[in-house]
Each structure stands twice: as structure tokens, then as C-alpha cells.
Amino acid sequence: MTKTFKIHVGNLSSDTREEDLLPLFRKYGEVIEFIIKDYFGFLHMKDEESGAAVLKNLNGHLVRGHHIRLHIATNKDGPRTQLKKDVNANMVDRKESIHKAGQRIFRPSRPSPEHKPEMNATNSRSIKGVSQDADGPSSTNFVVRNVPPKISIREIEELFQKYGKVKKCSSDYEHVFVCLICPDVELVLSELNGTKFKGQHIEVKVATGPVNEQPSSPSREHCVRLEKKCSASITFTSALNKAIEEGSISSCKGLLDAGVTPINEVFPRELHPLMLAIKLQRSDITELLIKNGANIHVLLPQDKFHSFNLFTDNGSEYFQNHKDGLSCYQLAVIYRNIFVVRCFWRLGCLVADDDIHLLSEHIVPGDSSVLQHTEETKKAITQQLNFLKGIETNNYIQVFSALTHGAEIKGHSGSVRFPIHFATRSGFHNVLHVLVNWATEVDSVDDQGMRPIQIAVEAGDLKCCQILLENGACYNSVETIPGSEGVNNLLENIEQAFFFASKGYIEILKLFMQVVDKENYHLLNVFLNCTNSEGKTLIAAAVANGHFEVVRNLVKLRTGTSLSELVKVHTLYEKTVME
């Protein structure tokens, strides 16, 4: 069995996927396997050197709003891909899936019925609701009933934290479920069950069944009743804000899907839902609200500044300079939540030098724990500013460097709106090359409804046209421009090539050979990669019309434009013409 360097990856958010982390890990060496289990995962690096590099450089790295924690795994089992090779042949031959077979073979055996465990950490697996991963410490699922209505998930977490580490805390409308890593289950039950909490006696029990990882969304009828109940309340709190305070993303999703809670309408003296989610540092709920149409331009009124405890005594000058209020984006910067900040950048919020001042020691949220993220947020804003400055000054090296350090490619500034459009309009060919090779949406539209290729054609910039088209831009829906002979000829040739491909005419090879004779391989890529109004390349257009002989020859050019292949194609064309 291949020996690997195994790393435990902890503190993952509920929506983190393998593809979010794999590119980070692969920067430091070969990844043999990476699997996520709930809120943690296990990484197998090829060797100790690459594993040590991952631990050194990525421990504490921010991923989807959570700072991941890395340490060497105590269990040294190899990757599952290797274990599966050792499964008996009769097991492999079964029709059940490999995953289920692996579970059946490697699942820890259950204790015998005669065994009566004590309720402690060493034997907690035998208790209902208590589980232990093969590579992690034991955890117990508790259910909390009779919870006061105004209690937030965070307050429940704080209640349990003195007994151990809270792995997860979620609400199912009437109950709260707490997954706790604790050394003494009996102590938790004896001290919390029946205790008076915020005026009510809560009931704490060990969960007797599996706890749903994602509680089902409430029905529309339930949402309507909840909204009416909140509207009649003297606290004037919407059902959506109540769900946000409780930290229940499933409740928020249910309310938004049901459509009974207007996302941009709030009760008097109530915070906008987006502001509240940012204040509570719930990046997952913040993103959900934005995706469902929350107004990202809403302002936090000045009379609510102090309710957020944003400013120290020395921050009065800054306070006076923002009489109109703070935006959601500015609030996200103040709370040092870089995941939410990047989300705002993608949506068009402008980044500016003034954002750095929002990280001043005079502007501190009530939750001072966010201060540890100041340097990371400052670094991200600096890289974003460097990225936009590089575009503005035609410094493609600076643009590339900023992107490799995490800059958001869709970010904007006051002087650079829509980076790919700016580079095209300015004729910055090297910068444009970097942007299109960094997976920019080559056919995106700006606030004027213009695509980059339209801008390049209107400017008569043949080089920009070629860069965009060879990276998949749509060639048509653009009008020829008088006086731009090079651009017009290019578009006419592309139009002709698509006509030949759709009709199955072998003359398309002659068109390509004219390009090859001039050794213009960039232009050859333009022909092969550009798309028509239906989003089809030349090959796709030929396939759609059943012209497979044309397809075979185009594929030869697509997969490798070696001289020998081109000679074969040219010979085929001459033979076809003679016949």
C-alpha cells in the first residue's frame, strides 16, 4: 500500500466542496485523495514534504467564510482508493456500489448486547446519539426543547461550549440540535436538563435518532402562519429576521421560497435582513439573501451606528464623515468577512482605497474576535486594488500576480468598470490575454449592453478580435465597420467557414490551408474556437448537420496542428477536388 501523508482538515462550512480546496492543496504537491465528511475532511498528500507545505501555508486559510484548521491525522489509514484494491474479489463482484461495499467492510463492529457501557468518552459510541468517526474524537447529538422564542443559535452554542467543542448547532423550528464533542455526557445532562435559561426551563436530552443534516424547508402554510405571528408581535420582527437571528438557513430558505416575506421591506426600527446577516457574520445566509434579490445598496442609517457598536471613542470623525450611512459592502469590510466582501465584488460593488480605512482601529464591531482577520482582509483588498490598477496602467504582470494571489476577476473600481471591456476598449492586448486565459466570461455584457467583441469590432482592433474569438467569443451579431478591412475580412472568412461546415462542403479545408500557408496559427485557433449565435463551434455545427467527414478533419486540426497532420489534410483536399 502506498504510504501517504494524511492531514485532518477541520472547521469547514456546510457548503464547502472538494473542488473549493483541491486547487489550494495541489499548489504544494500531488493530492492522492481528499474526502469531505460533514464539517471536516481528510487529505492524503503524496509525501511528507508536500504535506508539511500544506500545513505551513494553508492552516487558517479562509474558505467560504470559515478559517480551516489543519493538523496531522492521528489515524494513519491509507486512502480509500488504495483500500478498495484490497477488498476480496467476491465483494467486488457484488452489484452493490463500491462505496457501500467499503462501508460494509470497514465499518466498526457493534458492541455485543451484553456489553453495558458507561456514559463517558471512552465508551460513548454505545450511547444513542453518540458517534465517533474513525479519525476523530467522539461527539454527541443533543436535542434541546422548550427554547425561549427570542434565543439565537449563538446563545445556545455558548451554553454548551463550557462542556466541550460545539461541532454543529441547528434549529428545526421547534427544537435545537447540538452536536457536541464532550468528555462527559452525564455532566451535560445533569446540569442543563431542566435548568432555567432566559426565563424558561429547557429540556436537554441525547438525541435517540439521527439528526437531519439539512432540515427540510417549512411549508408555505407554516411560513404564512409564522409571518402573521411575527407581524402581530409587539417586537415588530419579521419572520425572516427571526430566522436569521436563530441562524437557521433552512428556515430562511423556506421563507424566501414561499414568498411571504418581502426581502427588502422591514418593520420600523428593524434592521434590513442583509445588514442583520452581516452583523451576525453569517456568510452563508448573506449569500442566500443576495441570490434572492436583497438590495445590496441599502444603507445602515446613522442612528443605528451605535447599535452595532462599530466605533470607539476616537472614531467620531469617521462617524461624522458618513452622514448618509454605511452600505452593506462597507459593513462587510468592517466585519472583516472576506468571503462576503468577494461576493459583493462579483456583484459590482466598487473597491476603493478608502476600504482600507474601514479596517481602522477606530472602527471595531462589538464582536472583537473579528480583529484577528484584519490583516487577511487588508491583504485581499490590496490585491484587488493592485489587479484593477494593473488593468488601468496596462501592466499585465501586475494583473497576473494579483489574480494568482486571490483577486476577484469581476471586481470593479471607479476608473475600471468591467475589466475585460476596459482592456478591449483601451487596446491592452497583453492584459486581455491574461483575462481571457483566467476564465473571464468572454461574452459578458457591460452596463451599456455591449460585449467585448462588439467593442473590438467598432474600434477596428484586429488583434483584440482575434484574442476574443480564439477564446470562444461569438462572432456574429456584430456589424462590419467601414475602413476596418482586416476586421471585416476576418468576420467574412468566419461566416464562410460556418457556411461550409453547416453544408458539409470540403472547401472548408481550402480555407484552413490558406491560413496554414501563412503560418497564422492564431487565426487557425480563431476558426476552430469561435462560436456562432447558437453557441456552436465549427465542429459542433458540422456535427449538428451530420457532416462527419468534415468533423473528422476539423478534429485533427483541433487536437494538434502538427505539420504532418496538416499535410494529410491538404492532400485529402487536393484528392477530393481532383475526383
Quickly state the pLDDT bin for 84 (edges 50, 70, 90).
very low
% of the chain surpassing 70 pLDDT: 67
Quickly state the pLDDT bin for 399 (edges 50, 70, 90).
very high
In a domain, 542, yes or no: yes
* CATH number where 26 lies: 3.30.70.330
Residues 72 and 131 in one domain: no
Q: Grid coordinates representing 319?
A: 462617524
In a domain, 43, yes or no: yes
The last residue of one of the domains, among 165, 182, 206, is 206
Residues 67 and 127 in one domain: no
Quickly state the pLDDT bin for 393 (edges 50, 70, 90).
very high
The last residue of one of the domains, among 76, 91, 113, is 76
Upper half-sphere CA count for residue 560 (Cβ side, 13 Å) = 6
Residues 72 and 137 in one domain: no
For the chain, give the mean pLDDT.
73
The better pLDDT of the pair 450, 87 is held by: 450
* Count of other CB atoms within 10 angstroms of residue 111: 12
Task: Give the span between the Cα atoms of 512 and 577, in whole angstroms.
Answer: 15
* Count of other CB atoms within 10 angstroms of residue 304: 17
Q: What is the mean pLDDT of residues 353-372?
A: 69
For the ranges 22-26, 205-209, 358-362, the maximum mean pLDDT occurs at 22-26
Residues 66 and 148 in one domain: no
Identify the domain containing residue 553 by its residue range. Answer: 492-579
In a domain, 292, yes or no: no
In a domain, 26, yes or no: yes
pLDDT at 395 over 90: yes
- Of 222, 211, 311, 299, give the one whose Cα is nearest residue 261: 222
In a domain, 169, yes or no: yes
In a domain, 9, yes or no: yes
For the stretch 285-318, pLDDT in tens is 888 888 888 887 777 766 655 555 565 544 445 5
The last residue of one of the domains, among 76, 105, 130, is 76
Q: Are 407 and 430 in contact (CB under 8 A)?
A: no
pLDDT of residue 391: 94
Quickly state the pLDDT bin for 426 (edges 50, 70, 90).
very high
* Structural domain count of the chain: 3
Residues 127 and 55 in one domain: no
Task: Give the span between the Cα atoms of 291 and 490, in whole angstroms.
Answer: 40
In a domain, 310, yes or no: no
Q: What is the mean pLDDT of residues 204-229?
A: 55
In a domain, 447, yes or no: no
Task: Give the span between the Cα atoms of 242 and 86, in whole angstroms.
Answer: 52
